[in-house]
Copies of this chain bind each other. A is one copy, B any other.
Amino acid sequence: MGKRSFNILDVTLRDGSHAVKHSFTEEQVRQVARGLDQAGVRYFEVSHGDGLGGSSLQYGLSAVDEMKLIEAAVDECEQAEVSVLLLPGIGVKEDLEDAVKAGAKMVRVATHVTEADVARQQIELGRNLGLKTIGFLMMAHMAPVDKLIEQAKLFESYGAEVVYVTDSAGALMPHEVKERVSALKDHLSCEVGFHGHNNLSLAMANTIAAVEAGAAYVDGSLRCLGAGSGNTQTEVMAAVFERLGYQTGIDLYKVMDVANDVVAKIMPRPQEITGSSLIMGYSGVYSSFLLHTHDAAKKFGVDERSILIELGKMQAVGGQEDLIYEVAADISKRNKALV
């Protein structure tokens, strides 16, 4: 008897946008979209790395208007459907309406794990536009399980058809993913998804844990192309889940071909677990902290890893960048006291 089936959603053309500094061209998007479609990947995402409307000085300018990229991707699809990412506060109503005109069929509305309440309008808008509408709880490691359930229920109450546990920092351990996905399965009627990052070399293990716990959607990226050390590797997932006895509906050779013949050639560098991505996963902090931390470490003569780990313990969130300098100063004082 075959095991339960689930969907692999590829994020190469969205999370991978970070890794190429939002430089995707229309031709690159067409090639990747065509490859994914022909390989049998049913859903894939196309947006600026920070979601619709992300193209800006703050988040990085896109080389090509994302609506053109969405249109091109949709144009290549015979079966696959294109998803877009929307972060309330970055993307607006008109962006989503434009994405629908460009042919998008799914929206994932993303908030910090404790801030689902800012997403009511966007979830309702997605439903009203006839999209498959998904809630995406980012930095999921920063909330205890009870809080995660509460926030997922909010998303469900607004109309989300799937709620994702999103391990943005690649900080979760497999047993923690299992616990979180199982808890959402137990407490929600809608479906559950998982999005992993490989900062601790556990993206694949976490994705398996999610599927075993009942996730209906799991994200992957060709050649891991994504923020930090990248995502769960889509083409490897196809092989691993086949070995584990699941039906993915994906043609292994074809998905390997688009990974190795197309995406590998687009990548500015391979995805590795370097010093900063490892510390991000270990400390569970935002990638946006890295730059300021580097400066603060220099200024106060302390190891930047100690700053990040301290920020992780404090559960600092985006917007609290001032804290970085305070923490650096404290560590410097403590170090001097030890001498």
| Cα of A239 to Cα of B170 in the assembled complex, Å | 12
In the complex, A60 has a CB within 8 A of chain B: no
B240 touches A260 (CB 8 A): no
| Cα of A202 to Cα of B202 in the assembled complex, Å | 8
B272 touches A256 (CB 8 A): no
A278 touches B201 (CB 8 A): no
Interface residues of A in 269-309 (CB under 8 A from B): 269-275, 278-279, 281-282, 303, 305
> Given A269-B270, A272-B270, A239 and B281 touching (CB < 8 A)?
yes
Partner of A200, one of B173, B239, B272: B239
A312 to chain B, nearest CB (A): 11
| Main SS at interface, chain A | helix
15 pairs, CB–CB < 8 Å, chain A vs chain B: A173-B243, A198-B201, A200-B204, A200-B236, A200-B243, A201-B240, A202-B204, A205-B205, A236-B273, A239-B278, A253-B303, A256-B275, A256-B278, A269-B270, A271-B272
Residues from chain B with a CB closer than 8 A to the CB of A271 are: 272
In the complex, A235 has a CB within 8 A of chain B: yes
A252-265 to B contact mask, C-beta < 8 Å, 1/0: 11001001100010
B204 touches A173 (CB 8 A): no
In the complex, A174 has a CB within 8 A of chain B: yes
Residues from chain B with a CB closer than 8 A to the CB of A208 are: 174, 205
A240 touches B202 (CB 8 A): yes
Q: How many identical chains are in the complex?
A: 2
Number of interface residues of A (CB under 8 A): 39
Interface residues of A in 181-232 (CB under 8 A from B): 198, 200-205, 208, 223, 232
In the complex, A244 has a CB within 8 A of chain B: yes
Chain A interface residues (CB < 8 Å from chain B): 173-174, 198, 200-205, 208, 223, 232-233, 235-236, 239-240, 242-244, 252-253, 256, 259-260, 264, 269-275, 278-279, 281-282, 303, 305
B239 touches A282 (CB 8 A): yes
A223 touches B272 (CB 8 A): yes
Partner of A201, one of B203, B244, B274, B279: B203
| Cα of A256 to Cα of B304 in the assembled complex, Å | 13
| Cα of A235 to Cα of B305 in the assembled complex, Å | 14
> Given A201-B204, A223-B272, A270-B269, A236 and B278 touching (CB < 8 A)?
yes
Residues from chain B with a CB closer than 8 A to the CB of A272 are: 223, 270-271
Residues from chain B with a CB closer than 8 A to the CB of A239 are: 200, 278, 281-282
Q: Which of A173, A223, A273, A279 has the most CB of B within 10 A?
A: A273
Q: Which of A205, A259, A264, A305 has the most CB of B within 10 A?
A: A205
Partner of A232, one of B201, B242, B252, B260: B201
| Cα of A240 to Cα of B244 in the assembled complex, Å | 24
